[in-house]
Structure 1
């Protein structure tokens, strides 16, 4: 597959220079990192509107807290319990987006939180967050990186899926790493796929199962490294990560032959990350087994793993629905409906220090499936 864009944008020029510096081939993880996070140019670091309910507002996709304020109120029940169980008073949110979830959590948690720290790479998003969260004053802080040592409760909603991944393709005999090469032609400069032999270690699931020729999938080394970084710094506290994905056996099933990389643009989904670079989101589903193992290997304990529907219902969403009007119930129902977010999205909880019975996993815990 190839993608031509006409006259190259500054971001495309930057990526083409990176390809040239790398010898003519750039791993997809490096391409994805530049496309999303190149300072001032990438999708998330630029000023483009991203989050919203409808294409008419210029947005590309909607997240759970934008669908319903009940998402944050239910999640706050779990965070409140975790803050108490770990004797901490600080929340760290990664990738806070428009700040909607932060506002919901701050409102629900009240004085239970002494500090609410946001780690976000996007300057434009930070500005939107600061405007939305002005009512909480100095309680809200922005960090460029986590402290080397910290205590508290970490939350990340749709953070892992936006972390760069390595693309792998099985050619019938061996695994090849898929990357990006620069392309010049009659339609103008663009990008195309290129492959090479890989030195990357593969999960056991990929080494054992018979895969069809042209099978495509992803490795999540950066997301797993992110969890190890959290574990290295978190002296006492808990982590709750919410995203779409599967346990490893499902993720690397031979029938899932096309991989999970998706792009979001104006509330439409496509599978071509080489087109409209910088103008659309690029994501991949999460291998939650890899996340759990990375945490365990780094000294964390898994509190639980379940669907978003189970998690929110365990945290009292059903009771909250009874208080909502009809329109509010309809929107909140999308959070738990099986054909919407309820089943595809999962929640994993991890703890540093003494474990506890987390409310969100009280019923329907699927840790045994990881």
Structure 2
């Protein structure tokens, strides 16, 4: 990617218009979702089984169709408990999860009368339409309705929502944002911060090919994580002027969950299941996790630099499931359960499905359960408009840890 690519120039103009600094959540939003330019909006393949297929990461539905078939058992129970017959899936990717769910729900005798996909990518929508052509009940929407009676599914959706970065320096909290890298040949007496930033854009693009385009910049803030991370003993050389804690908070993910809750309550009945990697609050803000969870994925490799190769790689953060559950409860939903992906899928009879599968299919499905693969890293949070004993949390429920 060249230094004067359209996405970087767009972000640079936004930085200029904002006076030379953008909060990280706005930078992340543009990097991932800027129309036609952001990572998820550019039309490139992002998920697959390995770097050989041009993808950047693997998701459970792509890894094994048994993931969707097991999840269907929980959706079928939710249909029975709520009286709903609609599924709303956010971020449906290639349509792999929808295909597995729809087929298995039919096999279970609980077919979805309507299956609605909410996805911002027109390219992905085209792939989904081709893959799901056999199911006329599949529809697409750009937003939730004001009232929703159905089952909401979000697999690896919350982790892709922009986060705010907080850095504690010398005992004081700062919000970490993004500025333009200092460039040579800057005007000596810029009239305004905007002029200075705009001059930096031009100079950077023409005079510093290959150099860093964006840099971190911290500003004092009243924002705080929900738990104050404890101080850790570090040497003077380690401490220096660097932040002793960098972490994330998730106001956008919490607002999204609150909106889902409000629409489900307005519809009278429904449930939601979110599958993602993350931790409860006490683990998320543990003192040993003082560098936070922000990460990037490209060609099935992970790095910690979201300011480079902007638009060419995924940017993500783990989920604070305590905050997610509290947002749902504050908006009137009940927590059905919280557990690891492995426990959830076992409760939903994945082992029985594996017995009927071929050896290669079993090997792929084992990655969904293995502790060193997806089984423990990924968690499942279940929510509903009223309480009922959800199948996926029958054993191994960890709600008490939230």
Shift of 1:6: 4.4
Taking the aligned partners of 1:172 and 1:79, their CA distance within structure 2 comes to 49
Structure 2 gap segments, 5+ residues each: 184-203, 234-242
Taking the aligned partners of 2:30 and 2:212, their CA distance within structure 1 comes to 17
Higher strand content, 1 or 2: 1
The residue number in structure 2 matching 1:310 is 343
Taking the aligned partners of 1:217 and 1:200, their CA distance within structure 2 comes to 12
Contact 2:173–2:223 (CA<8 Å) still a contact in 1? no
The residue number in structure 2 matching 1:265 is 298
Q: Secondary structure at the match of 1:277?
A: coil
Shift of 1:209: 3.5
Residues 165-191 of structure 1, C-alpha deviations (whole Å, 9 max, x = no match): 001111131111101001235345610
Taking the aligned partners of 2:180 and 2:230, their CA distance within structure 1 comes to 34
Taking the aligned partners of 2:23 and 2:399, their CA distance within structure 1 comes to 32
Contact 1:89–1:113 (CA<8 Å) still a contact in 2? yes
- CA RMSD, 1 decimal: 1.3
Taking the aligned partners of 1:157 and 1:335, their CA distance within structure 2 comes to 13
The residue number in structure 2 matching 1:45 is 41
Residues 73-130 of structure 1, C-alpha deviations (whole Å, 9 max, x = no match): 0000000000110010000000101110011101111252100000111111111111
For the pair 1:195 / 2:191, whether they are aligned, the reply is no
**Aligned residue pair count:** 362
- Normalised TM-score (structure 1): 0.95
For the pair 1:75 / 2:98, whether they are aligned, the reply is no
Residues 285-331 of structure 1, C-alpha deviations (whole Å, 9 max, x = no match): 00000000000011000000000000000000111111111111100
Contact 2:166–2:224 (CA<8 Å) still a contact in 1? no
The residue number in structure 1 matching 2:179 is 181
Taking the aligned partners of 1:260 and 1:202, their CA distance within structure 2 comes to 14
Residues 306-365 of structure 1, C-alpha deviations (whole Å, 9 max, x = no match): 00000000000111111111111100000000000000000000001x311000000000
Pick aligned residue for 1:30 from 5, 26, 29: 26
Shift of 1:150: 1.1
Residues 242-279 of structure 1, C-alpha deviations (whole Å, 9 max, x = no match): 00000000000011011101111011111100111001
Taking the aligned partners of 1:197 and 1:122, their CA distance within structure 2 comes to 36
Q: Secondary structure at the match of 1:134?
A: coil
The structure-2 alpha-carbon separation of the partners of 1:322 and 1:328, relative to structure 1 and needing over 3 Å to count, comes to same
Give the stretch that moved more between structures: 106-115 or 223-232: 106-115
Shift of 1:140: 0.5
Contact 1:118–1:140 (CA<8 Å) still a contact in 2? yes
The residue number in structure 2 matching 1:281 is 314
Contact 2:281–2:322 (CA<8 Å) still a contact in 1? yes
Taking the aligned partners of 1:211 and 1:84, their CA distance within structure 2 comes to 50
Show the 5 A alignment for 1:68-107.
Answer: 68-107=64-103
> Rg: which structure is higher?
2
Contact 2:72–2:104 (CA<8 Å) still a contact in 1? yes
Contact 2:173–2:224 (CA<8 Å) still a contact in 1? no
Contact 1:8–1:189 (CA<8 Å) still a contact in 2? no
Taking the aligned partners of 1:73 and 1:106, their CA distance within structure 2 comes to 9
Contact 1:158–1:243 (CA<8 Å) still a contact in 2? yes
- Normalised TM-score (structure 2): 0.88
Shift of 1:202: 3.3
The residue number in structure 2 matching 1:113 is 112
Runs (4 or more) in structure 1 with deviation over 6 Å come to none
Give the stretch that moved more between structures: 104-113 or 359-368: 104-113
Q: Secondary structure at the match of 1:12?
A: helix
Taking the aligned partners of 2:298 and 2:212, their CA distance within structure 1 comes to 21
The residue number in structure 2 matching 1:355 is 387
For the pair 1:228 / 2:258, whether they are aligned, the reply is yes
Shift of 1:56: 1.3
Q: Secondary structure at the match of 2:149?
A: strand
The residue number in structure 2 matching 1:299 is 332
Structure 1 gap segments, 5+ residues each: none
Shift of 1:7: 3.0
Taking the aligned partners of 2:247 and 2:225, their CA distance within structure 1 comes to 11
Taking the aligned partners of 1:356 and 1:210, their CA distance within structure 2 comes to 41
